[in-house]
A and B are shown apart, each in its own frame.
Chain A
Amino acid sequence: MRKVCFINGSPRGEGSGSRFYIDELTKLMDTTASDITHFTVIETVKRKNYEEVFKSLLEMNDIVFVFPLYIDCLPASVLDFITKFEEFIKENRIRLKDGGAPRVYGFVNNGFIEGYQNKYALRILEHFCERVGLIWRFGVGVGGGEFMAQTAAVPPNSKLKRPVHKAYLAIVKDIENNNNDNKDNILTNPNVSKNMFIFAATINWIKNKKVKIRDMFKKPYLS
């Protein structure tokens, strides 16, 4: 049985879009062939049980980091997590052998429609893997992150969501087949035009505001 771990790197934890994506990926996995574990970065921060989590991760066959894009890259909490992971590996002089090191995937979603805006976050994860000796497989960058999570009722294999569904399948198949061939990152988004996306997002922000519309434009820091 393959040991697979999903790491939820969203600072929002369980109620997050990242949790939605982890659930979508998990639904597609053959749970008779994979033993699936979940960790949440923000819970690790609260419990301060980094060492216990890192030891578990090093026993995995596959690790999938799932998180939202923050300022074009990793949220600071995820960056902190991987930095501490490297320190743990170095301090304990753990040598990760090529054949036995865990394989790592990244799954990043952003609020803009273009999935390619996630590419630097995936590169940063790849650089981390190279530094510590983990095996980087590939990553998926999904645009329209909130849009995807809020249209959960629309089937994942619908025309609207099919490109993202294919990306889920790419990760799941790579894990289950234990593939070793080189793969490029998959940068994709739901099938919706930019203008329609911007319009839908505007309506969504207005719908969820807790203040008057004009107050959303306040400039508190300039007199």
Chain B
Amino acid sequence: MGYTATKVDSVNIGGLREMKAFVVTDKTCSDEIRSDLRDYILNEITKNNYKYELADVDSDEISYCIGCFGCWLKTPGVCIFNDVGRKYAKSCIESDYIILLTPVKYGCYSVAIKKALDRLIPIVLPFFKKFNNEVHHSPRYKKYPQFVVVGYGNDISSEEENTFRKLTLANAINFQKEKSLTYICRNQEDVKKTITDCFNDIAKEYSGVNE
């Protein structure tokens, strides 16, 4: 199965609420840079004593969203397909941060990651609201995870990066956040800095939440 529910208990430090991350990577991508980024992300999580769940998405083990509206009209909040996609939606909404680790393809996510994202639609309502004078989906839950995206690839054009950053921001808004924390890593030499910057920003965000 492409889903590993690995939970590490955190230590409650100084009264801070325990932070939990849901890390989603593309198992079908065999690039070394993916492996290094994944290792650094998990190192930072364990170093900070965060709780986490990890999903290495295998594209063959998750169905496409078929747009049937079942998760809105028949089995509200739950996808009709009983596969790992349901677990991803559960893990997502139970986390403070969703960290997507994805190759950047045409300014978009990889197929495996996009399959996983499409299957998160049950966590919002079919009903609409206005945000920044735009129509978006209303929230099903009171709390949503902060959207963190680490995109990688050694051949990402500046236009593709621009599209990707704007896409991840749009996604964050539809998942009820006001911003996305998005990072691009183009080569192995930049892996450590990329993930260090990412977790410094997460720590700043998280301490802001707990003030």
A, B in one complex: yes
Residues of A that sit less than 8 Å from B by CB: 10-12, 16, 42, 45, 68, 70-77, 79-80, 82-83, 112-114, 117, 120, 123-125, 127-128, 131, 194, 197-198, 201-202, 205, 208-211, 215-222
Residues of B that sit less than 8 Å from A by CB: 59, 64-69, 72-74, 76-78, 89-90, 93-94, 105-109, 111, 114-115, 117-118, 120-121, 123, 125-130, 133-136, 140-141, 157, 159-160, 163, 166-167, 170-171, 174
Q: Which residue of A lies closest to B126 (CB)?
A: A205
- Complex contact A210–B73 (CB within 8 A): yes
- Complex contact A218–B114 (CB within 8 A): no
- Complex contact B170–A219 (CB within 8 A): no
- Complex contact A76–B118 (CB within 8 A): yes
- Complex contact B106–A131 (CB within 8 A): yes
Q: A112-B135, A194-B130 are in contact. Are A76 and B170 (CB under 8 A)?
A: no
A residues less than 8 Å from B163 (CB atoms): 120, 123-124, 127
- Complex contact B74–A210 (CB within 8 A): yes
CB distance from A81 to the nearest CB of B (A): 9
Contacts A76-B111, A216-B126 aside, 13 further interface pairs with beta carbons under 8 A come to A117-B134, A120-B107, A120-B163, A120-B166, A124-B108, A127-B107, A198-B130, A201-B128, A205-B73, A208-B69, A208-B73, A217-B125, A221-B90
A residues less than 8 Å from B120 (CB atoms): 71
Bound state CA distance, A87 and B90, in angstroms? 34
CB distance from B96 to the nearest CB of A (A): 13
Q: A76-B64, A123-B107 are in contact. Are A71 and B117 (CB under 8 A)?
A: yes
B residues less than 8 Å from A202 (CB atoms): 127-128
Bound state CA distance, A211 and B78, in angstroms? 13
B residues less than 8 Å from A76 (CB atoms): 64-65, 111, 114-115, 117-118
Q: A120-B170, A216-B72, A219-B140 are in contact. Are A71 and B107 (CB under 8 A)?
A: no
CB distance from A80 to the nearest CB of B (A): 5
Q: Which residue of B lies closest to A209 (CB)?
A: B73
Q: Which residue of A lies closest to B113 (CB)?
A: A76
B residues less than 8 Å from A216 (CB atoms): 72-73, 76, 125-126
Q: Which 6 pairs between the two chains have the least Cβ-Cβ distance?
A: A112-B135, A127-B106, A76-B114, A72-B170, A76-B115, A220-B77
- Complex contact B65–A70 (CB within 8 A): yes
* Most B-side CB within 10 Å, residue of A127, A197, A201: A127
CB distance from B136 to the nearest CB of A (A): 7
CB distance from A88 to the nearest CB of B (A): 15
Q: Which residue of B lies closest to A10 (CB)?
A: B67
- Complex contact B134–A71 (CB within 8 A): no
CB distance from B176 to the nearest CB of A (A): 13
